[in-house]
Each structure stands twice: as C-alpha cells, then as structure tokens.
Structure 1
Amino acid sequence: MIIDGVGMRGVRVEDAAGLADTLKRNRAYMAPFEPWRSEVFYTEEGQRARVEALLAERDGGRLAPYVLVETGTGTPVGMINLGSISLGPFRSGGVGYWVDQAWTGKGLATAALEEVCRIARDELGLHRVEAGTLVDNLASQRVLAKAGFRQYGLAPQYLHINGAWRDHRLFQRLLHDEAPL
C-alpha cells in the first residue's frame, strides 16, 4: 500500500475494463492536460490494446507501467509509468502519471512518484528520473516538488495537448551519484 486505501502494482490486461471506466469518469477533468483521444480509448477494448502495448514496451525493457488501485475493490484510481528507460552512461527514465479526481489532494501522486523513484534507483539502477508538466499545471508541479524533483528547463511547444502545441516545464530528480554498472 502506498497510501491508506490505495496500492500500486504492475498493470495487467485484466485492468482494461476498470481503466476504461475510470478514464471515462475523469474525461472532462483530465482533458486540459491530455492529448486528443479517440472514442475507442475510453472503451474496454481500447484500454486492452493500450495495456497490451504497455506490456510489450515493458517486456522490451523500455517501460515500467503501474496501476494505482483501491485496496479491497481493485478499482483503478490512477496510473504511473516510468518510460524512455535508457541504461548505459545515461541511466535515465521519464515519468508520467494521472490520478482519479476523487483521489487528488490526498498525497497519492506524490507517494506513487516516490515509489517509482525507489524502483528506478534500487531495481533498475537509474541515476535520474525526469518529468514534464504544462506550464500552468501548478498542481502537478507541486506534486513533483514534494517528491524531490527540481525544475531544470522549459520546452517550448513540447507536446500536442488539448488541441495545441503546448510549452512544458521540465523537472528531474537525481537518484544517486554512483557510476553506472
């Protein structure tokens, strides 16, 4: 359990229906922060295809996808993915996450970020984890700061979000100073 009432585990194909329901329920809430999504994305079939793609990336060593679930019910209340995993001298990854609106403000995203950073350091041997937020996404910037991330730059027209190319603030958390193995 990462916070009272919510656990974190690797995503499974069986999560597709629950993810579709949670994403549908949060569609309007998340729209300002997300790329355009087709209607299929919000269906069980769309989520099944998405999870299968995430698992293929995981199996290739490029991604570590996790789902945040209510303990007891197993209902998905968010996801966090450590992607773009690069080893060698870079030893870095990028993190992205979302949390059900009903669970915001409870420390869930911060706890999930801290756990993913622990996994990145202790299990994957990464040196750093990076993240980007829309310039005006102050809530996510607070989450990153609480989890030990520091802003290091600004990326103009970084991602196509909610119908336009949008600037992002870039953050990173350095995990250790040991030499790569």
Structure 2
Amino acid sequence: MATPLAPASLTEAVPLQGGVLIRPAAESDAEALAAAYRRSRDHLRPWEPRRPDSFFTTEGQRARLREQAAEQRAGRVAAWLLTDGEAVVGGLTLSNIVRGPFRNAHLGYWIAAGQLGRGLATAAVRAACQAADGELDLHRLQAGTLAHNTRSQRVLAKSGFERFGRAERYLHIDGAWRDHLLFHRVLNDRHPA
C-alpha cells in the first residue's frame, strides 16, 4: 500500500494517492460534502448514526462544518476531506483531542460509495497519524469499529493500530446500540510539553 508523500497538514492540501488529495475541511465544502453524503447515503447507513434529512443538505453540512471549525479553533478537533478533483470521496476526523498527560484523540473516517478498494482509507489514516504525531504532538490515537466491520479493522491493522478491547453497546449506530472493537496506536513516547 502506498504511503503518502507527506503527512496530512492542518492547513494545506497534500497528495494522498491516485490523484486524491487529503486537505482540511472548510465551510466552502458544504455543497460538495452534502452531494457526497447523498450519493453514499445507503452505503454509509449501516456504519453511522441515523441522520435527519437536513444532514444531507448543503445548509446542514454548512452548519456542521461551522461547528467543526469552532471545535478545531478550540483545539478539540482536526478534520480533513479526501477529494478527487471537485468531488469529496471521503473524510477523516480526529475528535475529542485531549492534551496534558493523555495527549490522545479519537479517529473516525469514511470512504464514499464507489471508492472502496483503492487504499484511500489506509493512506488517509496513515497521513492523519503523521499529522497527529508531528503537527498536533499527540501520543496516542484510538478508534472503534463495529464488531463485524472487518474492512475497517484491516485498515486500522495496516496502519499500525492494535486491538485493545471490546465495548458492549458502545455507540448508537443505524438505529440500535452496537458493540464495537477498540483499537489504538501509540505514536511516540515523547514527554508531554
């Protein structure tokens, strides 16, 4: 699997692979992001919380991106989109960023319908790990997958994550509380600043 030429940047677009860029999400992405979610609605349904119809609109995504930007300014989130030309083909977010002695974040990602099997998720996760280590100075990332989501588990394993547990009825996904497998990756052992 190809490794990104450079880590994902918190401020600029970086080539990922196959003409796809990973770049910071911005409010101006609302229309393209809404279109990607509409195209992928059925594909993503089994893996995500139930979404109101407004989530799939430009205005719904604009509001979401504004909220995400505020969280990013506060240092609690880092969000990127994967783009192929003008089209959004995926997204990746580090959320619940915690500083101090923990220096940890939660990793979440999605790939649009029709884009699976290209190695985009693995390349994006690896790039985000580099940014989390280099630019955010985090010690550790963690992620959860539905217990039966073997594709996502393979992405995490190929990206250096190890399984460390199972959480019963962890998140409300597709209309029910679902069990998740928990993974983590230690990025470095630097002393917290």
**What residue identity is the alignment partner of 1:105?**
G
Amino acid at match of 1:87: R
Cα distance between partner residues in 2 of 1:111 and 1:32: 23
- 1:173 corresponding residue in structure 2: 185
SS in 2 for 1:103: coil
2:57 corresponds to 1:6: no
1:1-181 maps to which residues of 2 (within 5 A)?
Answer: 1-70=15-84, 73-181=85-193
Tell me if the contact between 2:39 and 2:113 (Cα under 8 Å) persists in the aligned partners: no
Task: State the SS of the aligned residue for 2:76.
Answer: coil
Q: Which runs of 5+ in 1 are unaligned?
A: none
Q: In the TM superposition, what whole-angstrom CA distance separates every residue of 1:158-180 from its partner, at most 9, and x where no partner exists?
A: 00000100000000011011211
AA in 1 matched with 2:27: V
Q: CA RMSD in A?
A: 0.7
Counterparts of 1:23 and 1:10, CA distance in 2: 17
- How much does 1:80 deviate? 0.1
Structure 2 residue identity aligned to 1:121: D
Q: What secondary structure sits across from 2:60 in the alignment?
A: helix
Ranges in structure 2 where 5+ consecutive residues have no aligned partner? 1-14
Paired letter, 1:23: Y
Q: Could you tell me how far 1:74 is from its partner in structure 2?
A: 2.3
What percentage of aligned pairs have identical amino acids?
47
C-alpha separation between the residues in 2 aligned to 1:29 and 1:89? Answer: 38
3-state SS of paired residue (1:102): coil
Between the aligned partners of 2:17 and 2:160, the Cα distance in structure 1 is 18
Equivalents in 1 of 2:78, 2:86: separation in Å? 19
Name segments (4+ residues, structure 1) moved above 2 Å: none
CA distance in 1, matches of 2:191, 2:86: 39
Task: Name the SS of the counterpart of 1:35 in structure 2.
Answer: coil
Deviation track 1:76-125 (CA, whole Å, cap 9, x = no partner) reads: 11110011111110010011000112211111001110111001101111
DSSP 3-state at the match of 1:151: strand
